[in-house]
Amino acid sequence: MESGCIGMVHSSTTETIKKHLLTKRGCVGVTEDTFLITFNEKIDFLPGQFVMIGVDSHGLTRKPFTIGKFKDNLAISVKTVGEGSKYIVETTTPLEVIGPLGKPFIPLSSNGVVVVAPSCIVEGIHLSEHFDISLHVCSKAPLNKDFISAVSNDKMEFHIGDDAYLQLLNKLKFEKYDWVFITGSKMMEKIGIKKLTGEGGKVVYVSYNEYMGCGIGACKSCAVMTKNGIKHVCSDGPIFRGDEICFQN
């Protein structure tokens, strides 16, 4: 859906959204409440895109997850915040999925860096590998040591605690990147945008999380206020330039 054209179905309506059944290949703990799940099946997708995962009777909506690759397997990262996400982590039943959805991430140059919370680590790993750039994982809680040893590489750094995140932003401000991709909590993204845009001189991209009903552009629930009016995470995003977003108090 193009911007400025509210609620219309475009000729892209004829494009089919595929349904998939995904069986788990593995599930590892990233932190106490966050998990990285890999699947046996493959989905053709581009960096930044997401899927909606059905949770059977464990929630009233499918749940959106950015997809990525981990050790060449299709993967998602899941923070357990409710019955739906708990079901996705624990079930042994194949997961019913629609996607890929949303617009892919096309950065302004290849000179960027990725900063993610553990809940978005799959997207971080995938972007880091896809664009061959550094990845900073910023976590409030300690990360699982086995997980760290399984994923570590020379492009990845870990930062634990709020102060470590702020120190990272101060450091990135003076490094010669054109852009910084930040995804995690709204607060994390908001602070990152504030610190790095403007005087920081960086373009910040955020992968936005907003509650979704349909994920396909029908219900208009995942609205985000931007300088160019209301946009929708599922059809205009999920990735937006930070300087476009109007944060509310």
Number of residues lying near other proteins (CB under 8 A): 43
**Which residue in the set 32, 40, 82, 141 belongs to the binding site for other proteins (CB under 8 A)?**
82
In terms of CB distance, is 58 or 194 closer to other proteins?
Answer: 58
Among 21, 81, 106, 141, binds other proteins (CB under 8 A): 81
Buried/exposed code over 174-198 (b: 16+ C-beta within 10 A; e: otherwise): eeebebbbbbbeeebbebbbebbbe
Rg (CA), the chain: 17
Helix (H) or strand (E) holding 126: helix 121-131
* Contact between 11 and other proteins per CB under 8 A: yes
**Footprint (CB under 8 A) of other proteins, residues 117-176:** none
**94 near other proteins, judged by CB under 8 A:** no
When asked if residue 193 is in the footprint of other proteins (CB under 8 A), the reply is no
For tokens 């899941």, name the residue.
78
27 - beta bridge partners? 37
Q: Within 202-231, which residues bind other proteins (CB under 8 A)?
A: 210-214, 216-225, 229-230
**What is d(CA 222, CA 10) in angstroms, rounded to the nearest whole number?**
19
CB of 74 to other proteins, least distance (A): 18
Among 30, 39, 53, 54, binds other proteins (CB under 8 A): 54
42 lies in the site for other proteins, by CB under 8 A = no
CA distance 209 to 239: 9
- How far apart (Å, rounded) are the C-alpha atoms in residues 74 and 20? 12
Smallest distance from the beta carbon of 229 to other proteins, in angstroms?
Answer: 6
Q: How far is the CB of 107 from other proteins (least distance, A)?
A: 25
According to the binding rule CB under 8 A, does residue 108 interact with other proteins?
Answer: no
Name residue, tokens 């949770």: 55
Nearest residue to 195 (alpha-carbon basis) of 175, 166, 216: 166
Helix (H, G, I), strand (E, B) or coil at 74: strand
Please give the residue ranges that form the binding site for other proteins (CB under 8 A).
Answer: 5-11, 13-19, 54-55, 59-62, 81-82, 96, 98, 186, 210-214, 216-225, 229-230, 248
